[in-house]
Amino acid sequence: MERATFTRMEESTAQDWQVIAGESKEFGRGLPDRLMTHLKLLEGDYGGFPVDRYTHSLQTATRALKAGCDEEYVVCALFHDIGDTLGSANHFDVAAAILKPFVSEANHWMVQHHGIFQGYYFFHHLGLNRNLRDQFAGQPHYSRTEEFCALYDNPAFDPKGETLPMSEFEPMVRRVFAKPKNSIYMAVLATET
């Protein structure tokens, strides 16, 4: 492995950044594997729910796949709660940040706001406003997010529910995370071979 020679970024050269870009591309190819491994950390984490969070993620994606949703949507369904491991108070923000460079604005918005929309089904039990999602009325992706929660996220806590294995989703994960669609590095990524 070749390495850059600078100790401070302002000392870097174009040659240093060619080295870094090459290493970054290689590291980027491993992203799907790292994400699937990280999602597996949710296995056995019930958090009081009827199924563990890994099963919930797989069930959500299974429901979206069986309903004929496109690949990107299914991958968003799979990873919508990946933030539970690192952001217990804002898991949806963590998941949205991971997905943002690779998905459409509509799917990103859906993941970023699903925590508030999902609250419609339980916030009132916690003394919170179950209609908190109404603050987003009129937003272009409101109904998409409402539907995601109603059809895929909300009913995916079923111990007897159909739950496809990760191997079913792995090819989709690899394709969706193959190359960013939205990144400040798009000019650099466009030169990839």
Domain map (residue ranges) of the chain: 31-189
Which pLDDT does position 193 carry in this prediction? 41
pTM: 0.92
Highest mean pLDDT among 45-49, 102-106, 189-193: 102-106
Which pLDDT does position 66 carry in this prediction? 98
Percentage with pLDDT > 90 across the chain: 80
pLDDT surpasses 80 at 192: no
Cα–Cα distance list, 57 to 79, 84, 166, 178, 183 (Å): 7, 11, 10, 21, 26
DSSP designation for 151: I
Those residues whose C-beta lies under 8 Å from the C-beta of residue 59, and which sit 6 or more positions away, are: 51, 156, 157, 158, 161, 162, 163
Percentage with pLDDT > 70 across the chain: 96
Task: Say which CATH class 31-189 falls into.
Answer: mainly alpha
Q: What angle do CA 123, 126, 127 make, to 5 degrees?
A: 90
DSSP designation for 49: S
